[in-house]
């Protein structure tokens, strides 16, 4: 009787905790690090990069205004995230659910808010590929132009910012469409995953680039 109950429990439990329940993630293994450790490493790396950019920018161009300095810091951070973080996803999309590197575990944690990142979703892969290949280097080039006060920095900044906003609009739009039309939700029901990861963490790349493309 106990064996039958145990077998029933195993069959009734999803193979992984992602939504929609029953989502297949090939080779998925649970993260070894805790959520607190993952977030500490991610935001700690962002803070370190922000600080390093501040110091280097001031040494290269001591007369940078606060606006120019913050702009350079933002684009360096964005470029690094696009190239290394999102680029990691693009190059490891087929088996990222098996990874226990820090970035791999970050993606598995983020996927609680959008499981498309672990299922080789065509749209997400195309969007992230464009982001890593085009907008990542573009961000670093904008930062260099801001620090050197190159006059072409303004049109390039507008182009890169609009590209980031456009990618986010499509990202939100495709998820919303599938939720309304097909009743699919790729985020777990806990508010933390939806509002902090899916909404807030992505909205940053709409609000800040949107403001820069509008006012520069």
Q: Tell me how far CA of residue 196 lies from CA of 142, 179, 190, 200, in angstroms.
A: 28, 19, 10, 5
In this structure, is residue 13 part of a structural domain?
A: no
pLDDT of residue 15: 83
pLDDT of residue 179: 93
pTM of the model: 0.88
| Residue 10 clears pLDDT 50, i.e. is over it | no
In this structure, is residue 194 part of a structural domain?
A: yes
| Residue 7 clears pLDDT 90, i.e. is over it | no
Average pLDDT estimate for 43-64: 94
In this structure, is residue 115 part of a structural domain?
A: yes
> How many whole angstroms separate alpha carbon 44 and alpha carbon 63?
28
* pLDDT tens profile 111-154: 999 999 999 999 999 999 999 999 999 999 999 999 999 999 99
Average pLDDT estimate for 54-74: 94
> Which residues constitute the domain of residue 156?
32-215
Q: Sorting pLDDT into bands at 50, 70 and 90, what band is 207?
A: confident
In this structure, is residue 86 part of a structural domain?
A: yes
Burial call 72-93: b when 16+ CB within 10 Å, e when fewer: bbbbbbbbbbbbebbbbbbebb
pLDDT of residue 212: 53
How many CB atoms neighbour CB 120 within 10 A? 14
**Low-confidence winner among 11-25, 116-130, 149-163, 175-189 (lowest mean pLDDT):** 11-25
In this structure, is residue 9 part of a structural domain?
A: no
| Residue 11 clears pLDDT 90, i.e. is over it | no
Average confidence score pLDDT of the chain: 90
Percent of the chain with pLDDT strictly greater than 90:
85
Average pLDDT estimate for 73-93: 96
* Residue 146: both structure tokens together: 């801001």
In this structure, is residue 21 part of a structural domain?
A: no
pLDDT of residue 4: 42
> How many whole angstroms separate alpha carbon 151 and alpha carbon 154?
7
In this structure, is residue 19 part of a structural domain?
A: no
In this structure, is residue 4 part of a structural domain?
A: no
Q: Sorting pLDDT into bands at 50, 70 and 90, what band is 81?
A: very high
Q: Tell me how far CA of residue 17 lies from CA of 37, 158, 178, in angstroms.
A: 19, 40, 20
Q: What is the DSSP string of 134-188?
A: IIHHHHHHHHHHHHHT-TTHHHHHHHHHHHHHHHHHHHHHHHHHHHHHH----S-
The count of structural domains within the chain is: 1
pLDDT of residue 209: 73
């Amino acid at each position: 009787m106990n064996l039958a109950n145990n077998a029933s429990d195993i069959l009734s439990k999803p193979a992984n905790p992602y939504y929609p329940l029953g989502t297949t993630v090939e080779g998925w293994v649970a993260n070894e690090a805790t959520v607190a450790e993952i977030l500490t490493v991610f935001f700690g790396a962002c803070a370190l990069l922000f600080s390093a950019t501040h110091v280097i920018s001031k040494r290269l161009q001591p007369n940078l205004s606060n606006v120019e300095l913050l702009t350079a810091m933002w684009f360096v951070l964005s470029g690094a995230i696009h190239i290394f973080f999102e680029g990691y996803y693009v190059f490891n999309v087929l088996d990222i659910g098996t990874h226990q590197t820090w970035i791999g575990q970050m993606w598995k944690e983020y996927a609680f808010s959008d499981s498309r990142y672990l299922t080789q979703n065509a749209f997400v892969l195309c969007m992230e590929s464009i982001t890593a290949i085009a907008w990542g280097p573009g961000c670093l080039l904008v930062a260099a132009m801001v620090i050197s006060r190159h006059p072409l920095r303004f049109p390039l900044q507008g182009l890169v910012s609009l590209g980031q906003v456009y990618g986010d609009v499509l990202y939100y739009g495709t998820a919303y469409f599938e939720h309304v039309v097909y009743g699919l939700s790729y985020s777990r029901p806990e508010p933390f995953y939806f509002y902090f990861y899916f909404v807030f963490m992505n909205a940053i790349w709409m609000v800040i680039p949107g403001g820069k493309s509008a006012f520069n």
